[in-house]
Amino acid sequence: MMERVSFTIDGKKVTGYKGQTVLQVARDNNIYIPALCFDDEVKPYAACRMCLVQVKKGKRVKLVTACDYPATEGIEVTTNSEIIEKCRKVVLQLLMARCPNLPKLKEIAEKLGVEEQPRFVKANDDCILCGLCVRVCEDVVGVYAIGFEGRGFTRRVCTPFDEESPSCIVCGACSYVCPVDVIPIEQKDGYRIMERWHKKSKLIPCPKCGNYYLTEDQLKFLKEKTGLPEEELTICPDCR
Amino acid sequence: MIELDLEKIKRDVAEVFERYGRDPARMIEILQDLQDIYHWLPKELLKEVSRQTGVPLTRVYHMATFFKAFSLKPRGKYVIQVCTGTACHVKGAYMVLDQLKNVLGIDVGETTDDLMFTLETVNCVGACALAPVVVINDYYHGYVTPGKVESLIKEYREQQ
């Protein structure tokens, strides 16, 4: 049995398990905290700073990121106050200045009632550098196909040397988790193509229904990982 | 095009990796030592480092691009830094720089094809009394005039 912890979020009493984060408990209790760089499957990274909340522990109140703050017995969490709103607004405005044309960001901005700050010089980027794709590629898929390059102003996500990655299996996990949907994935003429990573791989049809389900590189990777015969792996989940 | 000896790269990486007890956690030291040998980090070398240490290439690449001390572009055996700070500027640093560009046939930030010289500018080296100053691999040359440039370069060429 896992140890339970109880605390309050916005005055409401909630309980979670030890090892969960404040954000996870809030989501389990249908309390909305905006967050971009968080996914249950990977370790919290606290990169996007959207999930800022105030935590009162004993006498001290501090601003923390809910996605990596451990659920602790007796803390008082506030998800909405003047100072949080102010911080969140600037964070979102900075993100919008970095990536001016992201529908997903505009959606959140509308929800939170934040407008673009004209004073912030607009850059022409589309990646918010949350690192979710990189972390999923490393920790969930385990192929290390993409990573960061450089630092500070010139930091970006790419394959090594920005060339076709030999280790990418074109699984599309990065595209799936991207919170702002900027990793396009396309299936055309029997190939699955990921333009951003300069990689394409031939699709293999399911022997039962004929639907495309995995790529050649994926199959090779799965065969090495699981040691299962090819025939078993190529059957799509619907036909299994 | 710079020719790289892949066999030599393999040997050098193995030797440096051995030096650090085959510990991939000492990647920065490994890359530093390799840069001391090659003066820069060629693509093939980083791939070889990844292969031998077992550290994913994305990680090696991130480290190599993160730190300013590492260069992924060719750098020469001798790095020539022309001071263009206020004092040197007034004393004609740009004339010296132009002469260096002529003699070496490269622009600022570039490296000669024989991988001997890299030309850079710096904003002040704190030796204004010697203006104009040219620093070559940490050796300070003071009172440089455009006329002295050619013999200076010749000196370094013959040194090796």
Residues of chain A below pLDDT 50 = none
- pLDDT for residue B44: 94
Is the model more confident about B142 or about B159?
A: B142
* Contact map slice: B 24-43 vs A, CB within 8 A: 43
What are the CA-CA distances from residue B70 to residues B32, B63, B64, B77, B101 (Å)? 8, 9, 6, 14, 24
Any bridge partners for residue B139, and if so which? B136
For B95-132, b/e burial (b = at least 16 CB within 10 A) is ebbebbbeebebeeebbbeebbbbbebeeebebbebbb
- The DSSP output letter for B125 is -
Q: What is the model's pLDDT at position A79? A: 95
With bands split at pLDDT 50, 70 and 90, how would you rate the model's confidence at B1? Answer: low
Question: What ipTM was predicted for this assembly?
Answer: 0.88
Burial class (CB in 10 A: 0-12, 13-18, 19+), B2: exposed
* CB-nearest partner of B62 from A145, A147, A167: A147
Interface of A with B in 146-185 (CB under 8 A): 146-151, 159-161, 167
Q: Does B59 touch chain A (CB under 8 A)?
A: yes
- Residue B114 CB partners (closer than 8 Å, separation 6+): none
Task: List, for residues A116-171, the tens digit of each pLDDT value.
Answer: 999 999 998 999 999 999 999 999 999 999 999 999 888 999 999 999 988 999 99
- Closest-CA distance, B62 to chain A, in angstroms, reads 5
Residue of A nearest to B59 (CA): A147
Whether residue B2 is predicted with pLDDT greater than 80 in this model: the reply is: no
Span B72-95, pLDDT tens digits:
998 999 999 999 999 999 999 999
In this complex, the residue of B43, B56, B62 whose CB is nearest that of residue A149 is B62
Q: Domain B78-159 in CATH: superfamily?
A: Glutaredoxin (3.40.30.10)
Q: Which CATH number fits domain A4-112: 3.40.50.1370, 3.40.50.300, 3.10.20.740, 3.40.50.261?
A: 3.10.20.740
B51 touches chain A (CB under 8 A): no
Q: Which residue of A has its CA nearest to B71?
A: A150
Q: What is the pLDDT of residue B52?
A: 95
Q: Report the residue from A138, A151, A160 with minimal CB separation from B61.
A: A160
Residue A21 per-residue DSSP state: B
Instruction: State the nearest Cα–Cα gap between A162 and chain B, in angstroms.
Output: 10
